[in-house]
């Protein structure tokens, strides 16, 4: 059994109190509202949520739940404080973290006079960097040291209104973001009986998860609506279409296309995005999401170019310039677009891709290449080593296995720009720069 204090008895806090008590823990709810405190202490829920009244009543009857406005009492009688206060939007859309920082300051005052280690968990939705600021506040106010006297962790919730208790017991995963091993161990133990994978991350990664999730949900709703609008005008049942689209868990609802990196290209995606957007226009339909795809893709190409420009170097090597490894398809390859731009600006380029051999290129591929890189013979090299030798900056353009092997051979004085995450263990540091990592 763990002793837990939950700060904020709104939607997330009330559900968390009830469910953590159901797990066999001793839980103290903390709020400034006397009404919420009295409701909890009388065995009633402060919100409408399926089964929550029964959970709270059971917890009160067993002596597993209590509620108070006394912060010091709550902190001194718990090992973990879980912060569930609101983070509303400001007029400009920015998140208001006033309540988070205020509660952390109040908890810190209590930690100042408490013996023993205490963990503070931010369960509210907060922007990356908030955990570090909370650490700073608690250290300043309490006079104690993070990872010695206390720990701070991010632990985002995934509770939907009307199904919150079911979601608590069956989450997609549990995310714990902390730099404190003791806090990580406590939270791992706390969630050990919940059947869901546990991801232990850096605090900033954990803080970003909820935003990524909710924005992805918003994208899916908007996408389905825009497809549905087009279907309706064409006399097609949009729900039938999306039902089949959603049944594909190999590509559509899968990790396959969910890897941040470089722009898309090839013979299908750009053509079909343009084609559907044109059809929507002829139907007098607005498709803000679908219409933004090509612009967003072009921006990713521009980011790649800016990374090269910022090196200040003129000798640039490219390892891989087909639009993905294992193919010689060059049509609308974003790497070719970068190469074409750099050539136009007078950069000295060296290119290598084992799948791009002029003697084998035929038809549209050959036309595309010679049309965009007319002096291809001058810049095309016959080995990885030649490109590395002749370049000050080496750009990884696809994930060919031979390029992975070459990564470790590149001298430290040469800059590596990775557009495809050739090595998952690396993030931007020293002479290595990743486009999204």
Residues acting as catalytic residues: 268
Asked if 386 contacts 352 with a C-beta cutoff of 8 angstroms, the reply is yes
Cα distance between residue 126 and residue 146, in whole Å: 20
Cα distance between residue 380 and residue 322, in whole Å: 13
CB atoms within 10 A of CB 275: 10
Element (H, E) at 189: helix 181-190
Backbone angles phi, psi at 155, to 5 degrees: -150, 75
Cα distance between residue 433 and residue 422, in whole Å: 11
Asked if 411 contacts 387 with a C-beta cutoff of 8 angstroms, the reply is no
Asked if 428 contacts 437 with a C-beta cutoff of 8 angstroms, the reply is yes
- Give 141's contacts (C-beta < 8 A, 6+ positions apart): 105, 108, 109, 112
Cα distance between residue 134 and residue 140, in whole Å: 10
Cα distance between residue 32 and residue 11, in whole Å: 15
Cα distance between residue 88 and residue 77, in whole Å: 29
- For residue 401, what are its two tokens? 């296995």
CB atoms within 10 A of CB 115: 7
- Give 313's contacts (C-beta < 8 A, 6+ positions apart): 392, 393, 415
Residue 61 per-residue DSSP state: H
Residue 385 per-residue DSSP state: H
Asked if 238 contacts 285 with a C-beta cutoff of 8 angstroms, the reply is no
Cα distance between residue 429 and residue 398, in whole Å: 20
DSSP string, 243-255: HHHHT-TTTTTSS
Element (H, E) at 67: strand 65-68
């Amino acid at each position: 059994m763990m002793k837990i204090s939950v700060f904020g008895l709104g939607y997330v806090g009330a559900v968390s109190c009830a469910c953590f008590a159901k797990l066999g823990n001793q839980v103290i709810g903390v709020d400034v509202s006397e009404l919420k405190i009295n409701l909890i202490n009388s065995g009633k829920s402060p919100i409408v949520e399926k089964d929550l009244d029964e959970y709270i009543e059971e917890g009160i009857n067993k002596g597993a739940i209590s509620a108070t406005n006394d912060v010091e009492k709550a902190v001194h009688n718990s090992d973990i404080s879980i912060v569930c206060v609101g983070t509303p939007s400001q007029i400009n859309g920015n998140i208001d973290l006033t309540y988070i920082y205020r509660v952390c300051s109040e908890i810190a005052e209590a930690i100042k006079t408490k013996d023993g280690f205490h963990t503070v968990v931010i369960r509210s939705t907060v922007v990356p960097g908030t955990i570090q600021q909370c650490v700073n506040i608690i250290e300043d106010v309490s006079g104690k040291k993070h990872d010695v006297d206390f720990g701070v962790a991010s632990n985002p919730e995934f509770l939907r209104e009307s199904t919150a208790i079911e979601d608590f017991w069956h989450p997609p995963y549990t995310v714990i973001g902390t730099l404190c091993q003791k806090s990580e161990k406590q939270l791992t133990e706390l969630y050990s009986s919940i059947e869901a994978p546990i991801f232990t991350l850096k605090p900033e990664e954990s803080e970003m998860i909820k935003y990524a999730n909710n924005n992805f949900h918003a994208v899916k709703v908007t996408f389905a609506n825009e497809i549905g609008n087009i279907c309706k005008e064409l006399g097609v049942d949009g729900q039938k279409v999306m039902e089949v689209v959603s049944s594909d868990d190999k590509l559509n609802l899968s990790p396959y296309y969910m890897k941040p990196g470089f722009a898309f290209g090839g013979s299908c995606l750009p053509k079909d995005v343009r084609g559907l957007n044109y059809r929507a226009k002829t139907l007098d339909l607005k498709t803000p999401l679908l219409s933004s795809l090509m612009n967003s893709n072009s921006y990713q190409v521009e980011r790649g170019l800016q990374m090269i420009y910022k090196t200040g170097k003129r000798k640039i090597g490219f390892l891989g310039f087909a639009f993905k490894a294992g193919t010689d398809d060059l049509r609308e390859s974003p790497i070719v677009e970068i190469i074409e731009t750099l050539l136009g600006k007078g950069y000295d380029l060296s290119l290598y891709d084992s799948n791009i051999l002029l003697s084998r290129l035929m038809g549209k591929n050959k036309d595309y290449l010679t049309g965009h890189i007319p002096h291809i013979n001058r810049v095309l090299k016959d080995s990885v080593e030649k490109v590395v030798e002749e370049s000050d900056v080496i750009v990884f353009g696809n994930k060919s296995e031979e390029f992975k092997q070459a990564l470790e051979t590149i001298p430290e004085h040469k800059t590596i720009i990775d557009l495809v995450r050739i090595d998952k263990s690396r993030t931007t540091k020293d002479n290595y720069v990743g486009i999204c990592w």
